[in-house]
Structure formats: C-alpha cells, structure tokens
Structure 1
Amino acid sequence: MARPASFDRDNILDIALDAFWDTGFSNTGIAALVEKMGLKPSSLYGAFSSKEGLFIEVLQRYSAKSLEQIRALLASEDSPLAGVRALLDAVARDAIACEAHRGCLLVNTLLEVGRHHDTIQAAVSTHLAEVEQLVTQALQQAQAQGELAPDRDVAATAALLMTMLWGLRVLGRTHPDPAKVQIVLAQMQACL
C-alpha cells in the first residue's frame, strides 16, 4: 500500500502553476519542478502520475479560479450588460498591467501545445466553452431585460466577444501600448 502524500497539494499546485506559467508546459522539466517543490520525482509521479497529469490538475485549478472571478465580475454590476462590460474592462486592464506579461495560462497553453496533447487541449477547450457560456447567459439575461434588441443573436455576439477577448489575452503578452488596448476595448464594447 502506498504511503499517503506528506505535502500540501494546493501549495504544490501553486508552485507548479508558477513554473508552467513562466516557462510553458514543454519547457518545464521534471527536475525543475521537483526542485521548486522540494519533492522527489517519485513523490511527484506518485501524486500526479506524470508531468501531464500534474499540468492538467494545474489547469483545472487555474480554470476554477478564473471562472469564479468571471462569475463575480458578471454579477458585480446592476445589470447583466454592465456585468459583461465589467468583464471586458477587467481583461483590458489585465492586458495592460499583466505581471511579467505572462498572459492567460490557458490561452498560452493552447498556443503552445494545442493539437499535440489531446488531454491538455480538451481541458483548455472546456474552459473556453464555459467562459463563452457564462457570457452567453449574461447576454440572454440582458436581452430578456430589454438591454439588447430582441432579435439580437446573443450566441453569435458572445462568440465574437470571446474571440476578441482571447485575442486581447494574447496581446497582453506583447507589452501592449495601453492606447491600443483601449481601442480594442472600445471595439469590443461597441459590439454590445
């Protein structure tokens, strides 16, 4: 029978998150991970099975926190449409102020490993779909409250906003000119 893990799993996941976020999935080696975590390779493999298993759990943790923040932003305003605008504003602020221009871990991952790792791609795709669903629901509520025209295709609007939002996340990695980000934000807001 295997011994129970003698480490704080959440702390290990946070350390791994920083490592993967700094150098990406492919460029983060097991040796670097175990050194940062203070674990032996056997402990890492015992707890997560593989580097990919660890990474999937990191992505799930990051995704859960991200979705929690998005839900809070959408609910933070007096109306559903204002909540969507608050979300877009927050993403624009992040693009400008992004710590070390790390971007969004999920978007970075999709760009890095994309179609080469089916399990990783599926985890990222699930998150992106969940975010789009949250925005679609907010737009449906806005439509029901008369904030959007009744004939507005809210699913198409959400898809367009998500495409621009993820593009803004990529832009955040490039040390963007704040004025350029504000132009992009204005165009996103104009879609509403």
Structure 2
Amino acid sequence: MRNAEFNREVVLRSAMTAFMDKGYAKTSMQDLSRATGLHPGSIYCAFDNKRGLLLAALEQYNQDRNAEFQGFFDGSQPVLGALRNYLDNIVTECLSCEAAKACLLTKALSEIAGQDDEIRNIISSSLADWQNALAALFEQAKVCGELKTDRDSAHLARYFVMGIYGLRTFAYTHPQPEVLQQLAEQLYQDICA
C-alpha cells in the first residue's frame, strides 16, 4: 500500500479544529475526512484510527501552544509585562468566534481522559509542563525584583492556571468583553499583589 502524501501539520491542525468543534465522540471519520481533506483510508494508514489521529493532534496542539507561550516570554520584555500580554491574548481567544476551540487539552480532558489512561497522562503531563514553566517565570520575576511576594512560585502558577481555566469556562456563558477583561485584570493583580 502506498503512503499518503500530505502536510502533517496542516492535517493535524484541521483535525484539532474538528475535535474542538464537536468533541471526540461526536466527530466522525467523515467529519475528519472533510476537515483534513484526506480520505478515511489515508487517515487510517497514517494514524491507525480516530484515536491515533487525536493523539497526534494533541501532540501538535501542545507544540503549537508551547511555541506561542515561548513567544510571549522570549525575554524581550519583563515577565510581568509579558504575563499581561499573555492574559490579553487569552481574553481575545475567549471572545473570538473560536471560543469553543480555546483549548483542545481541557476539552479532551473533560470528555475522554477518564476513559483513557494514556490520553489522561498525555494531557496531565502537558498541563504540568505549562504550570512548571509559569512557576519558573514567577521565580524569575521574583529574582529580578519585578514580583515582590513571599508566596511560593509553584502556588502562584497553580493559581494562575486555575484562573485561566475559570476565565475560559466563564466565557462560554458570559462572553462580554469588559467582564472578561476585568476578570483577567483581577487575576493579574492577584498574582502581582
């Protein structure tokens, strides 16, 4: 059998969108075929099955989000300035027509992680890496004198992550820009206090 030729990143990003639109269970192979432009046989050949495509999409999503995160915290500005810009970006995501697609990890976590240990472990590891990266940034901000607190950096990171989860969830039912911006500002102030 001949291997299908395609741009893997494009296909995986299209699959992400399909999974975020309908969720894993409701996304059919026909939906994935339409989204990716691949025939079902090509999807099976390249990824084994729908679950294999989800695993690959989660990996691509994690790579994309890590690159985006690193872009905000590239050292070109102080940590707290970058943190504010990062929060503004999250608010923008929440307000976009793509709000339902804001986080593939949390969507997959709530839908299927309880039924699939491998997926749960992948998602948990990705979220722990994000939290650890934030803790390192908060520690850096403390060392540089930007952040004047005796609170533990790991605790600040957990609090910040919880705030972002809450902000994204709240945006589903209360998508008013001014409300989301106020909540993001409060989260920022709570970190800086």
Global fold match (TM > 0.5): yes
Structure 2 contact 9–60 (Cα < 8 Å) conserved: no
The verdict on how the C-alpha distance between 1:39 and 1:185 changes in structure 2, with shifts beyond 3 A counting, is closer
Structure 2 contact 88–181 (Cα < 8 Å) conserved: no
Higher normalized contact order (CA 8 Å, seq sep 6+, divided by chain length)? 1
Q: Which amino acid aligns with 1:185?
A: A
Deviations 1:133-188 (A, max 9, x none): 12111111101011223623111011101111122122333351222212211220
Structure 1: tracts of 5 or more residues without a match = none
Structure 1 contact 81–142 (Cα < 8 Å) conserved: yes
**Alignment match, 1:52:** 51
**Alignment match, 1:12:** 11
Q: TM-score, normalised by structure 2?
A: 0.87
Structure 1 contact 101–173 (Cα < 8 Å) conserved: yes
Whole-Å Cα distance in 1 between the matches of residues 123 and 15 of structure 2?
17
**Alignment match, 1:33:** 32
**Alignment match, 2:133:** 134
Structure 1 contact 108–170 (Cα < 8 Å) conserved: no
Q: Which amino acid aligns with 1:133?
A: N
**Alignment match, 2:95:** 96
**CA positional deviation for 1:26:** 0.9
The verdict on how the C-alpha distance between 1:52 and 1:69 changes in structure 2, with shifts beyond 3 A counting, is same
Deviations 1:37-59 (A, max 9, x none): 34343322221112111001111
Q: Which amino acid aligns with 1:26?
A: A
The verdict on how the C-alpha distance between 1:175 and 1:101 changes in structure 2, with shifts beyond 3 A counting, is farther
Between 1:141-150 and 1:73-82, the stretch displaced more is: 73-82
Q: Which amino acid aligns with 2:109?
A: L
The verdict on how the C-alpha distance between 1:117 and 1:82 changes in structure 2, with shifts beyond 3 A counting, is same
The verdict on how the C-alpha distance between 1:12 and 1:186 changes in structure 2, with shifts beyond 3 A counting, is closer
**Alignment match, 1:157:** 156
- Equivalences, count: 191
Same amino acid, percent of matched pairs: 31
The verdict on how the C-alpha distance between 1:35 and 1:69 changes in structure 2, with shifts beyond 3 A counting, is closer
